[in-house]
Structure 1
């Protein structure tokens, strides 16, 4: 029995159909093959273990039955040239360049799309079998395979369980937090591998758990902010035009109005720019509240000056970092920031600055919000507090 005696494309197609019917793990278990480690047969947007398919196809063509794993050489010395001779495409997952790795990841994405069920989910085995995810940690880089592309490895998959940061995931993407474990060296390696995915413009797979099924989204690491330990990851098939690896807020002309806020089904508000706005606010000012002095990133939010609902832009110069409590007070017009003095002023008859926890009433920042945004917000505050048009001495 020799693999070179496999000549029937029909036999290969029968093996492919059985693989689809049983599922990859059951197929391999039935015929005692291990999971593919490098070479995959690509057919109809789906990926298959090349060696296992060849061995089973042999049995469909010859009465002696399928070849066993130990009877068959995989790779270029065995199954690959035989399958190619019949017109089948073989992909090598061990990329040596960023371009080759990008091509491989897009093939993986097409495969996962093709294997989705009616709910848009895939099996955990379908994710693992093509290397989209492969361990228990949040970040999967498979450094053994990807370090040829980048010495730090390149992140492939990001698992988001929703348990620790449920609000950071929406239909547009995710604000993904840097890993924090006792393995600090490994944490740093995973952060660097994720940054490499951004700089090399390689997509990643965001994995969510739904019982024994998995949701998978194709995504791109759009940027990061080290002080707050956040990655901005956006869903879609198109890579970002620019990687946000540092504050770029002064690179474009300022516009106070303009955002992509919309309603879906008449009720649900979609804010596709909110995650990016938060990252860019942190990049511009740092993840600390200048009014309360709180420097715990998990407690800091990005507050709009001209609000999103009022058509305010997602430009970082239209925002300030604030602790969550002050952000609520700010939106409730309990205080505002005078654009001339850059000092916080409390609403007459309301809680004092001290009551609200404002211990640093004057903005003391290396970079300030845009004056136009500060003035719009202050005018809105005067209107809401019934003092629109009041003389300076009355304020």
Structure 2
């Protein structure tokens, strides 16, 4: 009984069909093979445990012997092992232990094709499908598999991000996710996971965003587009291509300001898609910091990015068209209970509404070195005057 006596491609195809029929976990359990940790047979966009497939295929070719037990042959690259035997029959075997960023990128894209091919009618896969190819592998939110990826980067490189929706449900949409830095009782490990996620961005390596749906998992191919350390946020965007620029610091002054222009669109009925909203929030935090300048509140989880010229009015997603505000004050701002005079940079309450003090505005004058663009402040102030019936007092920028 030698694995090199496996010579039938048809027998391998039969083993692959059995794997697809019962699922990888049941297939390995039935034939007493462990989960692959390095080598995978790639076939028609799907990945399979190479050693397990070879052992079971042997049984299909030699039914009198049955499948070859896992302890009777090697699954590595040495002569007489499973990988050379499979390749000799024309099958592709991939090594997941990448040595370069380019090889790691190719491996992750192969994993993505496998996950796409194994989706059910609802677009979901089993937890074993995710884990068996290393797209995710532990109970923590960030999965790096440092022992495998540190050959690509000394800090390791993040592979998967789990978003449960329990703590920050509004940060996930169909375009991506604002992913919060980990905060656990292991700050050293947290820091390492943050560094590994930044490494994924700088190396242009995709990550897998995992969501839980009962026993099944949703998976999206994504790219780390940027981060903001003070608010402890990563901007992660879904898609097939990496971002052209990494948002690792404030870049708001690098382009001419335009007050109008966004990609807001109505998808169907009353559903509005705002693909730039997460990026807008990150860039507002990068420009001003996650602190409400009017109340002094600096708890990042309580701070939102408020548009001056609103998104619904065609306002740009430029950070200079925004201000960080605590959530309650943002509601008051959108309700036109107050506005900021572009000439004095001071908040003014509407005459027939609550006072600045009632709204918790304790610092009515903007004093930061970083201010919104004057055109954005002026547009918002004039809109506020219009809504309060005082169009004749409109600011002209004099």
SS in 2 for 1:36: coil
Number of the residue aligned with 1:109: 112
Between the aligned partners of 2:149 and 2:57, the Cα distance in structure 1 is: 31
Number of the residue aligned with 2:49: 49
**1:81-96 superposed matches below 5 A:** 81-96=84-99
Number of the residue aligned with 1:64: 65
TM-score normalized with structure 1 length: 0.98
Tell me, yes or no, if the aligned pair for 1:98 and 1:202 is still in contact at 8 Å.
yes
Number of the residue aligned with 2:390: 387
The superposition leaves residues 246-296 of structure 1 with CA deviations (integer Å, 9 ceiling, x where unpaired) of: 001111111100111111212111111000000000000000000000010
Tell me, yes or no, if the aligned pair for 1:285 and 1:366 is still in contact at 8 Å.
no
Between the aligned partners of 2:184 and 2:367, the Cα distance in structure 1 is: 34
Between the aligned partners of 1:364 and 1:60, the Cα distance in structure 2 is: 77
Moved over 4 A (4+): none
Between the aligned partners of 1:220 and 1:3, the Cα distance in structure 2 is: 41
Between the aligned partners of 2:353 and 2:120, the Cα distance in structure 1 is: 55
Q: CA RMSD in A?
A: 0.8
Number of the residue aligned with 1:33: 33
Between the aligned partners of 2:393 and 2:293, the Cα distance in structure 1 is: 28
SS in 2 for 1:322: strand
Tell me, yes or no, if the aligned pair for 2:136 and 2:143 is still in contact at 8 Å.
yes
SS in 2 for 1:320: strand
SS in 1 for 2:190: helix
- The number of equivalent residue pairs is 392
Number of the residue aligned with 1:76: 77
Number of the residue aligned with 2:336: 333
Tell me, yes or no, if the aligned pair for 2:204 and 2:242 is still in contact at 8 Å.
yes
SS in 1 for 2:104: helix
Q: Of the candidates 360, 363, 368, which is equivalent to residue 360 of structure 1?
A: 363
Q: Of the candidates 221, 224, 234, which is equivalent to residue 221 of structure 1?
A: 224
**Closer, same or farther: CA 12–391 of 1 in aligned 2, 3 Å:** closer
Number of the residue aligned with 1:281: 284
**Closer, same or farther: CA 28–275 of 1 in aligned 2, 3 Å:** same
**Closer, same or farther: CA 391–72 of 1 in aligned 2, 3 Å:** closer
SS in 2 for 1:380: helix
Between the aligned partners of 1:300 and 1:37, the Cα distance in structure 2 is: 43
Between the aligned partners of 2:305 and 2:242, the Cα distance in structure 1 is: 25
Tell me, yes or no, if the aligned pair for 2:382 and 2:394 is still in contact at 8 Å.
no
SS in 1 for 2:306: strand
**1:255-274 superposed matches below 5 A:** 255-274=258-277
Unaligned runs of 5+ in 1: none
Q: Of the candidates 231, 235, 252, which is equivalent to residue 234 of structure 2?
A: 231
Number of the residue aligned with 1:134: 137
SS in 2 for 1:76: coil
TM-score normalized with structure 2 length: 0.98
SS in 2 for 1:257: coil
Between the aligned partners of 2:212 and 2:329, the Cα distance in structure 1 is: 34
